[in-house]
Amino acid sequence: MKKNRAATDDPPLLRILLCGIAFVFIGLFLVLPLLVVFSEALAAGLGPVWAAVTDSDTLAAIRLSLLAAAIAVPLNTVFGIAASWAIVKFDFPGKAFLVTLIDLPFSVSPVVAGLIYVLVFGRQGWFGSWLTDHDIHILFALPGIVLATIFVTFPFVARELIPLMSDQGREEEEAALSLGASGFATFWRVTLPNIKWGLLYGILLCNARALGEFGAVSVVSGHIRGQTNTMPLHVELLYNNYDYVGAFSVAALLALLALLTLALKSFLEWRYADELAAVHRH
Amino acid sequence: MSLIIDSLSKRFGNFAALNGASLTAPQGAFVALLGPSGSGKTTLLRILGGLEGADHGTVRFADMNWLDMPARERKAGFVFQHYALFRHMNVARNIAFGLEVRPRAQRPAKADIKRRVHELLAMMQLDGLGDRYPSQLSGGQRQRVALARALAIEPRMLLLDEPFGALDAKVRKELRIWLRHIHDKAGVTTVFVTHDQEEAFAVADLVAVMNQGRIEQMGTPQDVRRDPRTKFVSEFLAV
């Protein structure tokens, strides 16, 4: 007797084919390169890796990347919360435009983003001569790198929060208001606890991108070794100097950070899904 | 000492939600705002609660210029159709919220807040549910928590926006009898929005029938039912 297949099942051959394509694709384009990074770094054993990572220029690059992220991420967190709050809780003219603007950094090439800052703050730019007169360095210095990073990582927190907050609506805030809570107390006791997991998730993605950004930062940094090179820029510099072990060691460090982010993200998704499910069980 | 609403108007874009609504009710009255959807009853309630501003008109209540007071100083306990409980707080903390957010000088001591929460839980027949989260309660229980939360602040006015709209008929009936009981005990002025005339007539001292942003007729349930003064009221009540 022929075995009956459930009406909703796809033919087995199709299933195997689809799974196969997915696995081959992921293996070829994601797993293999990642393995190459680690194997190239470790080609000559752990010693050279350690030497490359503790090189003073590399340490300077790590410090700069962490510093830029440490400034850009909190600023974008505050901005993201403020923008989502304004968009979800109030009606005002130009709201749709603001939502579109928030997405702009996703659609603009990072190189263009970097160039914008060169045009504004560069020697020939709008504020160029004024900045030179007052001895303020923005391009080829930390401020430029931070500005470029902020631009590129701008949407992450807001994009995470807007759908979450519009899903939750305004009623809890209205209830808090009618019970006598101030705006601050309402935010602190009602809004923030309701969005905390989504917020953390957005911050994590924002941070990952801030550490990994290459294009926009490359345009404004000036590539001064040991001074304005971030980690991704330092990888390129080492690679161009035929220091493969060094380049892949720093790249492996970046890859490890990415894997850590991924692990944290999965953990949050698991936590957050739980919480969201509880919240939605109305 | 009464509630006097005088020619309130409110537009949302091109839509006139309220169009000169006026009514007067003695303090401590239970007023039902009855009307079809879009007649302005929820807008009127939200203006009383300070969740919406009026374009024109005044409200006096207990000799205060009610609309000039910020919402959070009005002590108007608002009960929403979909409860609007704080989802990340348990029942006890939901009820205590209005007391805990008071400025330090007016805030009751921790023990007093705890006792008040216990009283309210008992009064609402919610004993033992203080540690539960809103998502773990039935609809009727949630609405009782919402009511307890509104009563905790000792409101001057109790505002209910279709509070039983999302509940089944049996629970609705139980809750409205019981709401009337709470109202009498607490001695507040209550404004209750509903589109269900049976509910309005069963529970209120005064029924205000609304249509197109105005009060068409206001009176005791018997008067309104016996003597509908406009075509709209008689048609609305005949349905």
pLDDT digits (tens, 9 = 90+) for A182-218: 999 999 999 999 998 889 989 999 999 999 999 999 9
Categorize the per-residue pLDDT at A282 as very low, low, confident or very high, splitting at 50, 70 and 90: very low
* Residue A175: C-alpha distances to residues A183, A193, B137, B140, B158 (Å): 12, 15, 19, 18, 13
* CA atoms of B5 and A65, how far apart (whole Å): 62
Which residue in chain A is spatially nearest to B134 when comparing CA positions?
A282
In this structure, are residues B28 and B188 in contact, taking their beta carbons and an 8 Å threshold?
yes
Q: Which residues of B touch A176 (CB under 8 A)?
A: 86, 97, 101
Check whether A10 has a pLDDT greater than 80.
no
* CA atoms of A167 and A50, how far apart (whole Å): 49
Categorize the per-residue pLDDT at A269 as very low, low, confident or very high, splitting at 50, 70 and 90: confident
| B206-211/B214-219 β-pairing | antiparallel
Output the pTM of the full model: 0.82
Contact between B97 and A181 using a beta-carbon 8 Å cutoff:
yes
Smallest Cβ–Cβ distance between B97 and the set A171, A179, A278 belongs to A179
In this structure, are residues B83 and B143 in contact, taking their beta carbons and an 8 Å threshold?
yes
Chain B, 6-45: which have a CB under 8 Å from a chain A CB? none
Smallest Cβ–Cβ distance between A180 and the set B84, B87, B101 belongs to B101
ipTM entry: 0.92
Q: Chains A, B: CB contacts under 8 A, how many?
A: 74
* CA atoms of B224 and B208, how far apart (whole Å): 9
Residue B190 phi/psi, 5-degree rounding, is -120, 135
Check whether A4 has a pLDDT greater than 90.
no
Which residue in chain A is spatially nearest to B48 when comparing CA positions?
A178
Check whether A270 has a pLDDT greater than 70.
yes
Q: Is the dihedral of CA B36, B37, B39, B40 positive or negative?
A: positive
**Residues in CB range of B187: below 8 A, 6 or more apart:** B28
* CA atoms of A139 and B230, how far apart (whole Å): 75
The pLDDT assigned to B177 comes to 92
* CA atoms of A114 and A132, how far apart (whole Å): 19
Sheet bearing B56-61, strands edge to edge:
B15-26, B2-12, B56-61, B64-65
The pLDDT assigned to A190 comes to 95
Tokens of A26: 């992921």
Helix (H) or strand (E) holding A118: helix A110-121
The pLDDT assigned to A5 comes to 63
Chain B, 154-173: which have a CB under 8 Å from a chain A CB? 159
Q: Which residues of B touch A185 (CB under 8 A)?
A: 101
Q: What letter represents residue B1's amino acid? A: M
The pLDDT assigned to A43 comes to 86
User: What mean pLDDT comes out for the span A61-83?
Assistant: 95
* CA atoms of A100 and A95, how far apart (whole Å): 9
The pLDDT assigned to B142 comes to 95
Smallest Cβ–Cβ distance between A185 and the set B76, B101, B135 belongs to B101
Residue A215 phi/psi, 5-degree rounding, is -55, -60
Residues facing B15 on adjacent strands: B12
Categorize the per-residue pLDDT at A223 as very low, low, confident or very high, splitting at 50, 70 and 90: confident
Q: Which residues of B touch A174 (CB under 8 A)?
A: 51, 78, 80, 84
Tokens of A135: 């001895």
A164-176 pLDDT, tens digit each: 999 888 999 999 9
Tokens of B146: 């919402």
* CA atoms of B121 and B125, how far apart (whole Å): 6
In this structure, are residues A171 and B84 in contact, taking their beta carbons and an 8 Å threshold?
yes
The pLDDT assigned to A139 comes to 85
B72-130 pLDDT, tens digit each: 899 999 999 999 999 999 999 999 999 999 999 999 999 999 999 999 999 888 999 99
The pLDDT assigned to B165 comes to 86
Contact between A176 and B88 using a beta-carbon 8 Å cutoff:
no
In this structure, are residues A102 and A83 in contact, taking their beta carbons and an 8 Å threshold?
yes
The pLDDT assigned to A281 comes to 42
CB contact burial A223-259 (16+ within 10 A = b; e otherwise): eeeeebbbbbbbbbbbeeeebbbbbbbbbbbbbebee
* CA atoms of B73 and B188, how far apart (whole Å): 16
Smallest Cβ–Cβ distance between B84 and the set A175, A180, A185 belongs to A175
In this structure, are residues B107 and A180 in contact, taking their beta carbons and an 8 Å threshold?
no
How close A16 gets to chain B, by Cα (Å)?
A: 41
Which residue in chain A is spatially nearest to B101 when comparing CA positions?
A181
Check whether A125 has a pLDDT greater than 90.
no
With CA atoms as reference, report the closest residue to B145 among B204, B71, B199, B93: B93
The vertex-A69 CA angle with A67 and A71, nearest 5°, equals 70
* CA atoms of A262 and B15, how far apart (whole Å): 50
Residues of chain B where predicted confidence (pLDDT) is lower than 70: 1
Which residue in chain A is spatially nearest to B52 when comparing CA positions?
A174
Contact between A178 and B49 using a beta-carbon 8 Å cutoff:
yes
How close B107 gets to chain A, by Cα (Å)?
A: 12
Smallest Cβ–Cβ distance between A194 and the set B72, B74, B88 belongs to B88
- DSSP assignment, residue A182? -
Check whether A58 has a pLDDT greater than 90.
yes
**What are A's interface residues with B at a Cβ cutoff of 8 A?**
171-172, 174-182, 185, 189-190, 193-194, 278-279, 281-282
Task: Give yes or no for B107 touching A (CB within 8 A).
Answer: no
The pLDDT assigned to A274 comes to 65
Smallest Cβ–Cβ distance between A194 and the set B87, B134, B159 belongs to B87
Number of neighbours of residue B71 by Cβ within 10 angstroms: 19
Tokens of A10: 């796809």
* CA atoms of B55 and B8, how far apart (whole Å): 7
Check whether A45 has a pLDDT greater than 90.
no
User: What mean pLDDT comes out for the span A6-30?
Assistant: 88
How close B88 gets to chain A, by Cα (Å)?
A: 7
The pLDDT assigned to B62 comes to 87
Check whether A75 has a pLDDT greater than 50.
yes
Smallest Cβ–Cβ distance between B84 and the set A171, A278, A281 belongs to A171
Q: What share of chain A in percent tops pLDDT 70?
A: 95
Which residue in chain B is spatially nearest to A281 when comparing CA positions?
B135
